[in-house]
Every structure is written in C-alpha cells, then in structure tokens.
Structure 1
Amino acid sequence: MLTPAITSQASITAIGSFVPERRLTNDDLSAMVDTNNEWIVRRTGIRERRIASPGEFASHLAIGAVRDLLDRYPLDSGSIDGIIVATTTPDSPFPSVASRVQEAFGMNGCLAFDMNSACAGFVSALQTANGLVLTGAYRRILVIGVETLSRITDYTDRSTCILFGDGAGAVLVEHAAQGAFLASDADTIGAGGPLVYASGLSDEWNGQPLAGEGKIVQNGREVYKWAVTQVPLAVRRMLEAAGADMEELDWFVPHSANMRMVEAMCERMDLPLSRALTSMEWFGNTSAASIPLALDLAVREGKLQAGNLVALYGFGSGLSQSGLLLRWTIQSKTGR
C-alpha cells in the first residue's frame, strides 16, 4: 500500500555499524563447494562476507552497532525511549534482541521489541519508528538491522552459500522540528513465501513440504524477476507522492542482495548505477542489516550528505517489500 506524501516530524540523526572480524572470501568458498572467485563476482558482485564467531550472536552485533553510534555522536543513551530490532536470526525466540540491547546500555523506561520482515525489515522498522514518533509518545528510537545468517546458511549449497553474511547497522530516529520522512511504500505477496524461506517449527506451506531443515532455501530466478520488476515501480510511486522526479534523487539504497539485481533496477529507472549505495561487495547479503551498512559506508566515505534525497528499498522473503523516501539529515561523517 502506498501512502501519500507525509509531513513528518521525525528524522535520522545518528548512525553506527558493526561487523564480525572473521572474513569468508570467495577463495575460501571455492575450497568448500564447486565455485570460484570470478564466477561469484560476475554473478553477484560479492567478494567476501563477515561471519560471526561461535559465541557471537545477533545481540552482540547489535550492541556493537549501537556502541559505535554512541561513540560517534554526542548523545545521552538514557534519553532513548524506544528500540526496534529488525532481524530473522535472533539469539533465541525470546527474550528479544532489543531487550538485550536495552540491558547493555541501561536504557530505562524504554519500549523494546524485535520485528521480522526479512530483507525488508530495516525499512519496515523505520516506518514503524516514524509512526511512533508522530504519536508524540516517543522522542528517540533506535532502529537496528542485524543478522547472523551464517547460522542458517547451507554451506553445501553453492547457489546460496556464496551470498550470505553477518552484520549490524543502527540509526537513531528522533523528533525534529522539520521532518525528513517524505513518502513510503509497502506490499506483501504471501503466496510467494516458498520462493525464499527457512523452515522452522513448521516444515510445510499450505500443505506443501518445505526443504532445507531450517537452512535458507531460495528460488533465485523467481525472486530476481519479482524484485527487478516491482522495486523500480515502487520507487517511482514514492517520488511521485512526494512531488519529486528521478533526476532529483541523489541516492538509491536497495537491499544489497545481488549487484546484478541492483544494476537491473537502476537500468529500469534510468538511474546511473553510480547513484546506488550498496554493501554486498565486502559484507555479502546481510538481509535486514544490508541497508544500514550501505548507509554507514557512504557516511564514512563522505558520499552521503545532509540534504540528499534518498530512496531506501528493502525486499525479500514474504514476499515483502518496503520503501522510504527521505531527506538525509546527518551533518557529517563523525557527528551532527
């Protein structure tokens, strides 16, 4: 469902990220399955990914991203009154990763919950945070995208094991005199659920058996066709709702699933690939973490500047998609 242009009173004012130390390169994978660096780069644009250590879980990565944010921006952590974590790979079904973040920083009187919308999760969490701030009940909400997809990756399946990595990114959404959230978009096609999934307590979908035994299973060809068709249409809808056009868009930040998908989307939008921000080259497909990682890379490199018009778009399992058009409001690489 598309919303009309929004006169929001919230903006993103801080950002941080964290990835595990261990690197899994394409050459490492070539020793595990029948593949090679050239083939992986040509098909996906991925060169390496980060992998959580045996004792490192989603909460550790999320806490690392929040600590990075707090180190870089002058902010009293006690003033944060909400935490939303987007993840498909929490430490445990409950308690939430968000509650572990709350404990780590002693954020008292704080709403804290996890949400699962797979690769669309971070943008869906931003939409949720914006709505909560608009109610006036909350003023500062941490939105975190974090995944430890290595935990559910089948490293004998060369079609999926070359893709996924672990990481976390966090932003602060807070009340502002002038809002930065301009338009949003969302859609779900539940019938497409079997195209990308990991089975759990149930191993069937509407009576059809699911494979994989809890590992990621993906029909890459069909997901590709769906995404490269739907995302460009949705970005154009958001721009139209906000009274803007493609020429005014400074940055397109899609879920970093696969560079070939991003190239196809940009081509369909007549948008130069140089105006797309991604994170898959060195971090792989990190699902809910891929967009905040791409944003923080661009902030650190000085690409993303205050005032830029930015389209975020997440898409994946569900089949769910979620987009936001916003005006970037962080002032510099290191602080406000």
Structure 2
Amino acid sequence: MTIRAVVRGVGHYLPERVVENSDFEASLDTTDEWIRARSGIERRHFAAEGETTSDMATKAAQAALDMAGIGANDLDTIILATSTADLTFPSAATMVQHKLGMTGGFAFDVQAVCAGFIFALANANALIASGQARRVMVIGSETFSRIMDWSDRSTCVLFGDGAGALVLEAQTGAGTTDDRGILATDLHSDGRHRDILYVDGGISTQSTGYLRMEGKEVFRHAIEKLAATADSALEKAGLGHDDVDWIVPHQANIRIIQGTAKKMGVPMERVVVTVQDHGNTSAASIPLALSVGCARGQIKPGDLIVTEAIGGGLAWGAVVLRW
C-alpha cells in the first residue's frame, strides 16, 4: 500500500475589476488584435486598491475548504506559492492561516515565480508521503499588477491577478498508476538564465523594481523545457502521452501552450485553457485553471492530469496526478 496526496477540494478567486485589452489602447501603442495575436489574452483581472495577495489567497482557500467539506483546523499545513507577498515578512501563508482561523499546524511560502505552484505541490506531496502532514492546503496567489511597468507594452498587457487553491489529503492507494493523487513530480532550475525574466529590484537592493522579460528568449526555452519535464514526470509515473486526459499548463501564452501540446503529441482538445480570461497570473495560473476546469465539467474524478510550468530563475517542473 502507498500513501498518496489526493485532491479533496479546489477553489479560486478573481478580483472584481476586469481589464479588457482595449483598455490599454489609450495609454500604450497597442491594440486588442495585437495582444490577442501574440498571447491569446483577451482580458485579465486586477486587484482592487488595498486588496492583497493574502486576501485573495484566503478567499480561494475558503472555496477549496468548502468543496472539501472540512474546516481550516482540519488542515496540518498551508503552502502558499507567490512572488508578490504582502510584506517582506512574515509569510503570506501565515497571514492566510490567521484569516482562515487555523490555530494549529504550520504555514510557509514558496517562491519559484510562475513555477511556484508546481514546486509547492511537490513539497506538499513530500510532506504527505513522509507522514509529516495529513492534509495540506496548497495555494497560488499573485498581485503582479503591482510590479508592472505600465510604459512597457511587451509585459504589462500580459499579466493579471488572482488566486487558486487545492486541498490535498493523505489516502492509501495500491501503489499503481490507477491510484488517485499525485503519482510523480519533476523539478528543475537553472540560474544561468536569470536575466531573461526577473524583477529589477528587491529588499537588499533597496528598490521595489519592475518585471523585466526577454520574451523571445523565454519562449525559446519554454516549449522545450515544458515538454521535457512533462515527459520526465510521466516516465517516473510509468505512464505515456496516450494515458493523459488533460494537460493543465501554466497559462502564460497561447502559443507556448499550443507548442508544448504539439511537442507532446496531445491535441488541444485535451488541454485546459484559461489564458484568454485571466492573462498570466504566475503561480496562481495552474490552480485557477484546475478550479475553472472542474467548474466547466472538463476535469472529472479519475482523470489523469499533467500540469507543468516555467518561470523566472529559470525554474520549471511538472506534476502527474489522478484527479
């Protein structure tokens, strides 16, 4: 028998403010058609003034708890993936812990930019498999609108804010690929590529900074690395492309999503796509897409899912799980 980290509940939250592509036309040399053609994005959500990463994370987490039918004090751990925490410290995860009314266990943040939720899932899986936790809330939440250079049309039109969350619970499986839960994880990073996607400020440099990206270079790395990590995770699980019911990718750019699916030989009909409505929400994009995919009726119990992401660092990885 094998202990598996099984999805018990999922939820998401999007800020009320919706920003259409056409809203940028008054201040930037861009058009709705230009943005759609290059990214597939049609709109995104921006957090309200005073609305923080932990606020959004708490709402997504509560939705996941409600679906799971459990309370915050039934959790052992909260792991929050974010690059835009409310404060330098304490962690946004501990803020969510307090806002949910969770009085035990422990909470911490993971920072791997757009790959953060994959890294957080891998950490949650390890905690459950080792017996250190029975139930883990895994959240991705970002307010990337706070680190945009609004004069840079190549980046500011791509990103949005939001949060998504999963409740993972230890359950006993037979140790086969038919088990529900996380079947394999695959993580990578390579700091040599830092300069193609980064924020040009931080605490030790005493500046806030803005997101900077070499789009062509990121694109060049993304498809190859995403397909390779997905293949590696499937191989570790003892599965192949034909076993996959859904790819749920990081929602950065429709061309990257299409290119990765093509390289893996998986038709777009088996890919959950939300980038048109959310933009790139960094660490929040995968749990958002999982939650929306469930709400649409696409993802069903027993489905085999491959989820993958790449972000600044560069950091990238994939998780294979049976819903």
Q: Please state which band the TM-score falls in when normalised by the shorter chain.
A: over 0.9
Contact 1:8/1:181, CA 8 A, preserved across alignment? no
Contact 1:102/1:110, CA 8 A, preserved across alignment? no
Post-superposition shift, 1:9?
Answer: 2.2
Post-superposition shift, 1:73?
Answer: 3.1
For the residues of structure 1 that align with 2:75 and 2:236, how far apart are their CA atoms?
A: 31
Aligned pair partner of 2:29 in 28, 34, 39: 34
1:183 aligns with 2:178: no
For the residues of structure 1 that align with 2:86 and 2:245, how far apart are their CA atoms?
A: 36
2:139 aligns to what?
144
Aligned pair partner of 1:104 in 99, 108, 115: 99
For the residues of structure 1 that align with 2:220 and 2:85, how far apart are their CA atoms?
A: 29
For the residues of structure 2 that align with 1:224 and 1:274, how far apart are their CA atoms?
A: 22
What SS does structure 2 have at the residue aligned with 1:260?
helix
2:196 aligns to what?
195
Post-superposition shift, 1:181?
Answer: 1.3
TM-score, normalised to structure 1, is 0.91
What SS does structure 2 have at the residue aligned with 1:156?
coil
Contact 2:198/2:212, CA 8 A, preserved across alignment? yes
Contact 2:3/2:170, CA 8 A, preserved across alignment? no
Let me know the Cα RMSD of the aligned residues: 1.6
For the residues of structure 2 that align with 1:93 and 1:137, how far apart are their CA atoms?
A: 27
- Alignment CA distance shift 1:97-1:213 (3 Å): closer
For the residues of structure 2 that align with 1:233 and 1:113, how far apart are their CA atoms?
A: 29
Aligned pair partner of 2:252 in 248, 251, 257: 257
Aligned amino acid, residue 285 of structure 2? S
For the residues of structure 2 that align with 1:127 and 1:16, how far apart are their CA atoms?
A: 19
Instruction: Write out the 4+ residue segments of structure 1 that deviate beyond 3 Å after TM superposition.
Output: 201-204
2:176 aligns to what?
none
Post-superposition shift, 1:72?
Answer: 3.0
Q: Which moved more, 1:179-188 or 1:245-254?
A: 179-188
Aligned pair partner of 1:296 in 283, 291, 298: 291
Contact 1:81/1:107, CA 8 A, preserved across alignment? no
Post-superposition shift, 1:235?
Answer: 1.4
Aligned amino acid, residue 316 of structure 1? G
Q: What are the superposed Cα offsets for residues 42-92 of structure 1, whole Å, 9 maximum, x if unpaired?
A: 110100000011110101100110122233331122111100000000011
Aligned pair partner of 2:79 in 64, 84, 87: 84
For the residues of structure 2 that align with 1:294 and 1:232, how far apart are their CA atoms?
A: 19
What SS does structure 2 have at the residue aligned with 1:254?
coil
For the residues of structure 2 that align with 1:221 and 1:259, how far apart are their CA atoms?
A: 14
1:18 aligns with 2:13: yes
Post-superposition shift, 1:17?
Answer: 0.4
1:332 aligns to what?
none
What SS does structure 2 have at the residue aligned with 1:223?
helix
Identity, in percent, stands at 41
For the residues of structure 2 that align with 1:36 and 1:76, how far apart are their CA atoms?
A: 46
Aligned pair partner of 1:279 in 268, 274, 278: 274
Mapping of 1:1-336 within 5 angstroms?
8-178=3-173, 180-199=181-200, 200-202=202-204, 214-328=209-323
Q: What are the superposed Cα offsets for residues 166-201 of structure 1, whole Å, 9 maximum, x if unpaired?
A: 000010111112252111111111010111000213
For the residues of structure 2 that align with 1:317 and 1:278, how far apart are their CA atoms?
A: 21
Q: What are the superposed Cα offsets for residues 99-150 of structure 1, whole Å, 9 maximum, x if unpaired?
A: 1111112212221111100001001101101111112121111000000000
Q: Which moved more, 1:149-158 or 1:7-16?
A: 7-16
Contact 1:147/1:288, CA 8 A, preserved across alignment? yes
Q: For structure 2, which runs of at least 5 residues remain unmatched after alignment? A: 174-179
For the residues of structure 2 that align with 1:316 and 1:7, how far apart are their CA atoms?
A: 32
- Alignment CA distance shift 1:88-1:248 (3 Å): same
Size of the alignment, in residue pairs?
316
Contact 1:278/1:291, CA 8 A, preserved across alignment? no
For the residues of structure 2 that align with 1:159 and 1:302, how far apart are their CA atoms?
A: 34
Contact 2:13/2:56, CA 8 A, preserved across alignment? yes
Contact 2:113/2:283, CA 8 A, preserved across alignment? yes
Contact 2:186/2:229, CA 8 A, preserved across alignment? yes
TM-score, normalised to structure 2, is 0.94
